[in-house]
Structure 1
């Protein structure tokens, strides 16, 4: 499977909130570079991260544009995050159901049809301003 196909399936599963399908698209040793954060390694760490995110946020991605390199092993996506802040996330402003619309992007490495690395990026200061900190 080429990068573009894997990335499309990844975001389709995310938008359906089908975490089983979403996690199945990850390599067992996936590298996850968190926006303005650390690096996590492994599918289990990614699953824990997603449990936390889905507990604090409800998000749907729109305007997704996917690009890939010539051999289909790397890709990038640009999209808009349409979200609701459900539960206060540690170190961030208090949640009370605020909504936000946030441009974002991600870079991928694909191996054997699975996401081997993903690096997410968005403007945290823009998000904080939108949720009213």
Structure 2
């Protein structure tokens, strides 16, 4: 009878420890999801602003190509082709920089760390129940 009581106490203690760990993990996991959600919202808003700037920059490129390039290129170089190439290259660099920045911000979207933590927790719980008594 006493060994049965000891076994019951051991199982109860193990269950209490598991519940304590599970509740602490759940709280930490909730905080992690909230932080990643905020980070994703911030990255999404930055991407939106960058794409908005990119849109107006593309309109600016079209207007600049029609008016300013013809005037300044011919004035300084006496060749519209050289001036057009220089101005077009600088605009391409600006657009490329904005696209690279937006692409880097896209990497911050998502819940990668939360998924990793959830997978680890599932593996730990599975391992806990597979342990021999």
Shared fold per TM-score greater than 0.5: no
- Calculate the TM-score normalised by the size of structure 2: 0.18
Q: Which has the greater radius of gyration? A: 2
More helix by percentage: 2
- Calculate the TM-score normalised by the size of structure 1: 0.18
